[in-house]
Amino acid sequence: MNKGRKLLSMTGRFAFIVSLFFSVYVFAMFQGGKVSWTIFYMLTPFLLYSIILFVYPINTIKAERITRSHVVKSGGKLTVTVKLHRSFPFPLLYTVASEQWVDSELAANANNRTKHIFIFGFKKEVEWSYEIERMPRGEHIVEGIEIEVTDFFGWIQKRGFIDLKDTILVFPNTTPMHYAPINAQYDRGSLASPFSLIKDTTMATGVRDYQAGDRVTWIHWKSFARTQNLMTKEFEDRQSEDLIIMLDNRESETFEEQVELTASIVEEASGTQSNIAFVSAGAETSVFPFINSADQLHDVFVHLAKVRPIPAEDVNPLESFTFTAVAGSVVLVTGSPDWPFVQSVMGFVKNRKSVICFVVVNKTVPVSERLQEQIRYAESKGITIHVLGKMQFSDAFKEVANL
């Protein structure tokens, strides 16, 4: 419908220009005189330009977009350069080119510099750059470039769209923190400890006297050849831990801070010897069961860049999701530790005392009475709760390590 209206409008404008041209010509022919022909000769270049512009193929203009990086940190700056080039140098006058971002707020962050007004003239190539300040976390899509050209008096206005789709990922910020394995206490002693000591046989740290039970492959044969005494290589002990990091995707006033804390924990924990999994509880529960490589860590960050808060009633119940309970720990990051949701997390572990709940709050405002009641009730059920503000993220595990 809109295309039909635009076509009728363009056709009407063209008909007006042609009729105006012949009217002025007929007026000069019948009226005669210097004034009449002067008017005709003065209007002729403008009218002819408008007629030629009407048939000018604007879709022959090509575009190229250059971005310094397709991955930006939240709050960072994105620099974009756009180049327009064409093969036929028809003198285009007033030209407006604008980037079409799906999120219209980005244009405001760029101080409306996503739109560029210039005179193309006879040039074959034009370029301009703009910067978008304070890029918000998320997946941002630019569909293409809309071009509008007009004649001297605005009689003919032509619009064209250059399909140049691009996607910019804005990752959440991370806070450096000292991650310490969570030594959860169990009701029945330490036999059910979530930790297991394993030998890193790729790196020998020294040698010692041979003891019964040592593997033959651990014998340091060079020492035996030199001293005729059996010596065994000593290896570095590593601690491994089963750890599930879970993000609560329900709507919250501190949702962006929750995503930032989750990203920080995942990044720090992935550098340890922990067996890490990541769970995103939302309308569809997303699970990343292994984070053992840079590519797997990148996949998690891509999810954290795209994730959006959803209403509480749209969250898929965790009870319906199958996940083998681990003899380890769950770190839950939430803004509302209400018991029905926290209770659904219990299916991921063998003991509720191994659930650590980080409640992210805004420290500039008092904690609501409702949130205080939720925290007290969860603690009465044996859940460890830590209330954190954004400035406390770096020290999040200091108290947890002493549990």
CATH of the domain at 321: 3.40.50.410
Note whether 245 and 393 are same-domain residues: yes
Q: How many CA atoms lie within 13 A of 360 on its CB side?
A: 24
Residue 201's pLDDT band (boundaries 50, 70, 90)? very low
Confidence of residue 236 (pLDDT cuts 50, 70, 90): low
The reply to whether 179 falls in a domain is no
- CA dihedral defined by 66, 68, 69, 75, rounded to 10 degrees? -120
CA angle 64, 70, 76 (to 5 degrees): 115
Q: Is residue 186 part of a domain?
A: no
User: Contact at 8 Å (CB) between 379 and 352?
Assistant: no
> What is the arithmetic mean of pLDDT over 217-222?
70
Q: pLDDT tens for residues 83-135?
A: 999 988 888 888 999 999 988 888 778 877 888 999 888 888 999 999 988 89
Domain count, the chain: 2
Pairing of strands 274-281, 231-248: parallel
Which helix H or strand E contains 301, and what residues bound it? helix 294-306
Is 261 in the same domain as 360?
Answer: yes
Residue 302 domain-assigned (yes or no):
yes
| pTM for the structure as a whole | 0.73
Region of poorest pLDDT, from 59-68, 206-215, 258-267, 317-326: 317-326
Domain span at 76: 58-171
* Alpha helices by DSSP H, 162-229: 221-227
358: left (phi over 0), alpha (psi -120 to 50) or beta: beta
374 alpha carbon, distance to own chain's centre: 31
Interatomic CA distance for residues 272 and 269, integer angstroms:
5
Are 397 and 268 contained in the same domain?
Answer: yes
Residue 203 confidence (pLDDT) above 60: no
